[in-house]
Amino acid sequence: NQIYKNHRNGIKKTRRPRKMSMSGMNCRFVRNQAFAKRGMKCTDEEKAERLAAQKEAQKRIEEKKKVEKAERLKELAGK
């Protein structure tokens, strides 16, 4: 009888939430995530500027690494 009653309205799958609940999460993480999402919103020009700045910074780091490697090799050869 119980199975008949259950199937009269149909056994439905539970609805999945669109957004995950933030309750019970680390509040500092949730807050930081919100700020990070706001920071990601930018125009195409700003995006291009950021990308150019990143590439310049990467070049500087690569040059610095090369110089340090050369100095280390000189130091090791001197010993």
* Per-residue pLDDT at 65: 96
Q: pLDDT grade, residue 72 (50/70/90)? A: very high
> Mean of the pLDDT values across residues 63-68?
95
Whether residue 61 is predicted with pLDDT greater than 90 in this model: the reply is yes
Dump pLDDT digits (tens) for 4-59.
999 999 999 999 989 888 899 999 999 999 999 988 888 889 889 999 999 999 99
Long-range contact pairs involving 27-34 (C-beta distance under 8 Å, separation at least 24): none
Please state the pTM of the whole predicted model.
0.46
